[in-house]
Structure 1
Amino acid sequence: MGVTRVSIERRGEPSVRLHSADNVVVAARALAAGTTVDGVTLRADVPSGHKIAVADIPAGEAVRKYNQIIGFASESIAPGDHVHTHNVAFQAFERDYAVGADVTETQFVPESERATFQGIRRPDGRVATRNYLGILTSVNCSATAAKMIADQFRRPGLLDDFPNVDGVVALTHGSGCGMAGDGEGIAVLRRTLAGYAEHPNFAGFLMLGLGCEVNQIKDVSEGWRLDPSRPVATMTIQEQGGTVATVRAGVEALKAMLPGADDVRRETVPASELVLGLNCGGSDAYSGITANPALGAAVDILVRHGGTAVLGETPEIYGAEHLLTRRAVSPEVAEKLIGQIRWWERYTEVNHGSMDNNPSPGNKAGGLTTILEKSLGAVAKGGTTNLTGVYGYAERVTAKGFTFMDTPGYDPVSVTGIVAGGATVMCFTTGRGSVLGCKPTPSLKLATNTPMYERMSGDMDIDCGVVLSRGESVQAVGERLFQLILGTASGRKTLSEELGFGQEEFVPWQLGAVM
């Protein structure tokens, strides 16, 4: 029933068939009219990654890829036709949720044989992969001052004597006032800020406000689960006497934290301590063939070693959620996921939208036609193990194994929620070439196709396109990726870290009315 991993056995073939029951195949490269693929002759030029009909598909009939429905023919489609937005339409249809039907017993690696990495164990027992000091803001009005403070620590000298501190990062946002003082909007913002305040990759932080905002610091920090040894400073610009005084005081507060923050050492810890975030952006048709299944293979390895993985982007599992409910360990887990899908259906309807407003123009240029097709490729990031937990946006993830978090499809917002939930390494697959960091968590970029990897090699950490370009197996690439994840968790810098990404990409999900 589920989407199976692709085995590319004949490198160099012009097309890829993903399942014997499919009525379309995928162009492995740009193909000219007259080319023969899978027994049919192309009736028009077909771009790389786009679909080709290999059977008659009458108007109104389902178009099948991965042996799943990805849309319905809006006109009659003949063998050899280019299949895309001009002749395929999105249409809602009933899906068999079959809760728990595919649950299996996880074959865990014995504890004595489990993989390890070099992590930083905090006093509360959680394990960090990075060691930052942070500046969190209660409101957008304190954003510029926060960045001014962080900028001081990029100048030569201030961090020279503290080699174990990865840096000082200011995480600012566009909200915190002009909003209701209670309700969903401010609850989500405060939950996100709490997730970062509690994140193991922060050794300490400064909480900075303006002073008169709705989102008061005393209310933001209520209920935070902080280790007593973690240094925290709070201040407002109005109380400090203005911007210059605030920057001066903020720098001094963080300088006082540096000796303690530097007093850490990495130690050998089991891979079961890892929380791996999963996201995709700038996807193309190869995402569901190469990078996403390879990441899914790495997730399966991590789960067998006792670790945790967190899949997000609820709008981008829409139409494929039945593949996850089949893996849910309990009806409660499945119902929570289905409830999130129903919320998104209502949310888009109220805002006069459609779930099929996603894919983006770039996704479509890369060969993705409907949200159903995009989602079927996206869920491959989650591998094949049981779904053990479902979480709201920015909730702390506590379950082990493969889990899901309700986040939007917009990459920075989604990643922000997953990091707030505790992700200590992020894997981000991309076909068009997204660039993104997410401090304090390192972000690995997984290219879905070799041409893009070669064109953007300064941004991409691993080429998963070799599944097509070299005929490597998905499992082999997944195993190599798992080792890269362990190395990254041990301190190896990702390319986005080398480039300085990760501060501007902090974007909490903004819900509710702007007053």
Structure 2
Amino acid sequence: MQDYIRIHQNDTVAVALKPLRKGMNCILEGAEVILNEDIMQGHKFALKDMGKGDKVIKYGCPIGLAKEEIKKGDWVHTHNIQTGLGELLDYTYQKEKIPVTSGADLSGNLCQEASDGEPAYFEGYKREDGKVGIRNEIWIIPTVGCVNNVAAAIERKAQKYVQGSIDAIAAFPHPYGCSQMGEDQENTRKILADLVNHPNAGGVLVLGLGCENSNIEELKKYIGGYNKERVRFLTAQDCGDEIEESLALIEELAEYAGRARRERTDARELVIGMKCGGSDGLSGITANPVVGAFSDMLIGKGGTTILTEVPEMFGAETLLMNRCRNRQLFDQTVELINDFKNYFTSHNQTIYENPSPGNKKGGISTLEDKSLGCTQKSGKAEVAGVLAYGERVEEKGLNLLSAPGNDLVASTALAASGAHIVLFTTGRGTPFASPVPTVKISSNTDLSIRKDNWIDFNCGKLVEGKTLDEMAEALFGYVLDVASGKQVKAEKAGFHDMAIFKQGVTL
């Protein structure tokens, strides 16, 4: 196992892959660096003397400016560097020639070509509208928070119908659907309609109250055409016992959905969301690059990936902009970034109030540091699509989605845009779920051992002798298994979460 790594040849800092002791002599490319203090795992140390105001380079890009003089061998963190980012920026489209290879592994070797030309398959559910699902679940979707407890009671009582090809019955409570205005209300309606139309749901019960703004008749306008056997509606104010009547509808939905069977399906049909949370100093070295290499592999086989959490693109956005397929997508990406910056300033908040306390504890010092690690999940593919919040994916390849960094909100947004699975990389761990199977990927082996009940896939092996190719292939195989029915840890625990992006006033 390596003790430390210089990620890019131009970097002025290296990263400790395990705790390092003061006085240790580190050899990097023939040069000696003697540590002036202890360096924690995931944290950085200086490879050269830097003066106040000098750029600190990691991933080959600036991650901030030195706040004071930094000596070779010093610990480099929030106490001596600060963000170098400004407010709204002017961007120039400088299209990058996209290589067919993915990122570099820890030895500096490029990964193999993104596609070997061989198709891959999973066992999925082919729906009547041409979509493919990887789960055959029955979803209970409240139109308004007033019926959340009713939805939860229906879920509990309906578990007897989980049999045969029915994978689960789950309710998705939320606090919205009424007392909202404008775009805020539109977003709620779009997300709820997206979930109604999601192919992982073999049957859907839409549960309304009756007097809410986003009532059933209003929501139908967003749902569009639907199969009346697959989607059923109930308004609680219009019936005697809403729970008993809902259970009767669930029984009918179970009879319909239970007829579905898994079929061999080309992996080009897969849509995979990519998200990180609780990141540490190893996230951008292990877990995120593995997900990026996975993304390139899936795209190489004709599939689709979606990257979100826009505020965590700040500082690395030009890397994505220059990979846009055309000028129109570049302009849409600029709008994606600037809209979120304006969202922050319109609420009188600092644009760069990031990273979190947990990120800092794990070794991430600035938003640029976090963003450059975060965008590793996008691999090397060109940007093929840019999606508004609540917009469903249409373009094969890599897509960028407008959503905040909040784990539950962003993961729900990925599912609503059509992701069958969310790949969630983490250095600290989390038990949450989303409307679709949410694969927890650890950046370090210690986390995977300590929280085995949370973590599904360990990328810490990348600093223990495994290559990026090997890890990406293993993750690709694991995703196909999940798509074919293998439960992730959150599913085994019975977790199904969802959260909608709140943007407006509450009446």
Give the aligned residue type for 1:461.
D
The answer as to whether partners of 2:122 and 2:264 remain within 8 angstroms in 1 is yes
Equivalent pair of 2:158/2:250 in contact (CA under 8 Å): no
Q: Scaled by the length of structure 2, what TM-score is found?
A: 0.93
Select the residue among 104, 126, 135 that pairs with 2:131: 126
Whether the 8 Å contact between 2:114 and 2:293 is mirrored in structure 1 is: no
Q: Which residue of 1 aligns with 2:82?
A: 89
Q: Is the 8 A contact 2:229 2:256 kept in 1?
A: no
Residue 96 of structure 1 deviates from its aligned partner by: 6.2
* Distance of 1:42 and 1:105 partners within structure 2: 39
Please say if 1:337 is aligned against 2:326: no
Aligned-residue offset at 1:355: 2.8
The structure 2 residue matched to 1:375, chosen from 371, 383, 386, is 371
Equivalent-residue separation in structure 2 for 1:371 and 1:167 (angstroms): 39
Contact 2:189 2:222 in 1 (8 A): no
Check whether the contact 1:42–1:80 (CA below 8 A) recurs between aligned residues.
yes
For 1:168, what is the secondary structure of its paired residue? strand
1:159 to 161, 167, 171: 161
* Match status 1:463 vs 2:468: no
Following the alignment from structure 1 to structure 2, what is the Cα–Cα distance between the partners of residues 215 and 72?
48
Give the aligned partner of residue 498 of structure 1: 492
The amino acid of 2:489's aligned partner reads L
Quote how far apart the aligned CAs of 1:20 are: 1.5
Q: Which runs of 5+ in 1 are unaligned?
A: 1-10
Counterpart AA for 2:123: Q
| 2:289 is aligned with 1:284 | no
Which letter maps to 1:457? D
5 Å-filtered alignment, 1:401-480, equals 401-439=397-435, 441-468=436-463, 470-480=464-474
How many angstroms apart in 1 are the aligned matches of 2:221 and 2:321? Answer: 35
Q: Which amino acid aligns with 2:504?
A: G
Which of 254, 267, 290 aligns to 2:250? It is 254
Alignment-mate amino acid for residue 421 of structure 1: S
Cross-structure match for 1:28: 17
Distance in 1, Cα, partners of 2:173 & 2:266: 33
Query: Percent of pairs identical after alignment?
Result: 35
Distance apart, 1:237 and its partner CA: 2.1
TM-score, normalised relative to structure 1: 0.92
User: 1:196-252: per-residue Cα shift (whole Å, max 9, x none)?
Assistant: 0100011121111222222222111204244435422222222224xxx11111111
| Alignment match, 2:479 | 485
Counterpart CA distance in 1 for 2:63 and 2:100 is 30
Are the aligned partners of 1:104 and 1:386 in contact in 2 as well (CA < 8 Å)?
A: no
Moved more, 29-38 or 303-312: 29-38
Instruction: Give the aligned residue type for 1:37.
Output: C
Aligned to 1:37: 26
Matched, 1:512 2:504: yes
Partner SS for 1:30 = coil
Among residues 69, 72, 93, which one is paired with 2:65 in the alignment? 72
Match of 1:199, as an amino acid? H
Alignment gaps of 5+ in structure 2: 102-112
Cα pair 2:99 2:380 within 8 Å, conserved: no
CA contact (8 A) 1:276 1:427 kept: yes
- Is the 8 Å Cα contact of residues 177 and 189 (structure 2) preserved in structure 1? no
More deviation, 346-355/196-205: 346-355
Deviation per CA, 1:348-395, whole angstroms, max 9, x where unpaired?
122222232121100110000111111101111111111100001121
Q: Distance in 1 between matches of 2:202 and 2:161?
A: 14
Q: How many residues align?
A: 490
AA at the equivalent of 2:430:
S
**Equivalent residues in 2 for 1:294-373 (5 A)?**
294-373=290-369
Determine the structure 2 residue equivalent to 1:19.
8
CA distance in 2, matches of 1:341, 1:347: 10
Say if 1:97 and 1:445 are closer, same or farther in 2 by CA, change over 3 A: farther
Superposition deviation, residue 108 in structure 1: 8.0
Is 231-240 or 42-51 further displaced after alignment? 231-240
* Closer, same or farther: CA 248–437 of 1 in aligned 2, 3 Å: same
